[in-house]
A and B are shown apart, each in its own frame.
Chain A
Amino acid sequence: MNEPVDETGLLVGRVQAGDRQAFRVFIEKYKRLVAAIVFRMVYNAADREELSQEIFLKIFENIKDFQGSAKISSWIGRIASNTCINHLRKKRLPLFADVSAAGQTLENVAGDSLTPECLNEQDDSHRNLQREINRLPAHHRLILTLFHFSEMNYDEIGKALKLPAGTVKSHLFRARQKLRERLLPAAREEA
């Protein structure tokens, strides 16, 4: 997600001043990023909508504290991931176990929340990838999303999740390794 500095800085400044119209533009601009994080972490459709709203409310309350030292997308990623982690803890859902191992079902996962355009465009390999990502433990899914979608680096992810950068790196490697192992037989079958 490339961010032209001047435009984004102006928008953030207006939101900090309490401009509601500017905040509407801000929501439209970053709701995909928030959705990517929330939908990866939370399976219940009603909870997703509620959590996404809660994240943007927190952003509005705390944006005055944003100094501009980091990218705004990283700052949003941090708020979104902490909100999701707190939600999972409150619901006593596991953060570190595979979905299949924890006995959870994959109801209300990505498949029924995709835009029609995306459903048409996606091929089988992409759907397989999304399915396998959803099977990973919550913390792996989160770190993968923050790294590849929010474009945060190891240090930024570590600060957001209160983990050392080395631990973030090792989680990332392990998550990708699992995906490769699970997807490779499927890729060979397609070939």
Chain B
Amino acid sequence: MKNGHLTDEQLQEILDTGILHSGPILPMHLGTCASCQKRLEAFQQLYAALATDPGFALAPTFADSVLDRIPTFRPLFWQQPAAKIALAITASAITLAGLLIFVNMRPLANGALQVFEIFKTAFFPLAAQMKQLFLWMGGNAKPFLYGGFGLFSAFIVERILLRQNVRHSH
């Protein structure tokens, strides 16, 4: 403060930031000092004038001029998504055809069959036991299944209703 009044910098800081770093005492002074209030109002008028659109105008065709200067990008044939998919399918088909024609697939086929027999021997009895287990659980866990299904249904309904409420509130 200068001579008991707010300085011009302090007044501008109040307007710029809404607060004054020197503490709350100085803004309180504004409530009691007519001279500082008058100077603050003068600054507020200046601020309002500075924020007014000065009305500078570019040519009406300005946007066209800018867009004309932007090069149009055209993707090359092999950069387009459909072309990429077609190329991938063609490459896979050619590779498969080459393997079938030029490579003897019999040993590979025999190997695959052997692996399948091993899985069948090892896992089919296990699959039968799992089936027994599920049947037992199904018989004894019916109430829990019904309850779980009910909770899931309630959840879905609540989600649908909530989404509709949100949509309507906008």
Contacts and interface: CB of A to CB of B under 8 A. Distances in A.
A9 interface: no
Nearest to A26: B63
Contact of A114 (B42, B54, B59, B66): B54
Interface string B54-80: 111111001101110110010000000
B117 interface: no
Contacts of B66: 27, 53, 56-57, 60
Contact of B16 (A38, A133, A172): A172
Interface residues of B, number: 28
Contact of B57 (A18, A35, A176): A35
B73 to A, nearest CB: 7
Nearest to B13: A169
B54 A110 contact: yes
A3 interface: no
Interface string B19-59: 00000000000000000000000110011011111111111
Contacts, number: 95
Interface string A127-148: 0011001000000000010011
A114 B57 contact: yes
Interface string B63-107: 101110110010000000000000000000000000000000000
A159 interface: no
A144 B50 contact: yes
Contact of B62 (A31, A147, A169): A31
B66 to A, nearest CB: 5
Contact of A18 (B16, B58, B62, B73): B73
A32 B56 CA distance: 7
Given A36-B56, A173-B12, A176-B43, A57 B51 contact: no
A84 B75 CA distance: 34
A114 B49 CA distance: 16
Nearest to A37: B56
B63 A35 contact: no
A126 B50 CA distance: 9
B158 interface: no
Given A24-B67, A57-B66, A180-B42, A52 B52 contact: no
Interface of B: 8-9, 12-13, 16, 42-43, 46-47, 49-59, 62-63, 65-67, 69-70, 73
Interface of A: 18, 20, 23-24, 27-28, 31-32, 35-36, 38-40, 48-49, 52-53, 56-57, 60, 110, 113-115, 117-119, 122, 125-126, 129-130, 133, 144, 147-149, 154, 169, 172-173, 176-177, 179-180, 183
27 contacts: A20-B70, A23-B67, A24-B63, A28-B63, A36-B53, A36-B54, A39-B54, A39-B56, A49-B58, A49-B59, A49-B65, A52-B62, A56-B66, A57-B69, A57-B70, A110-B54, A110-B56, A114-B55, A114-B56, A118-B53, A118-B55, A126-B49, A148-B50, A149-B50, A172-B12, A176-B46, A176-B50
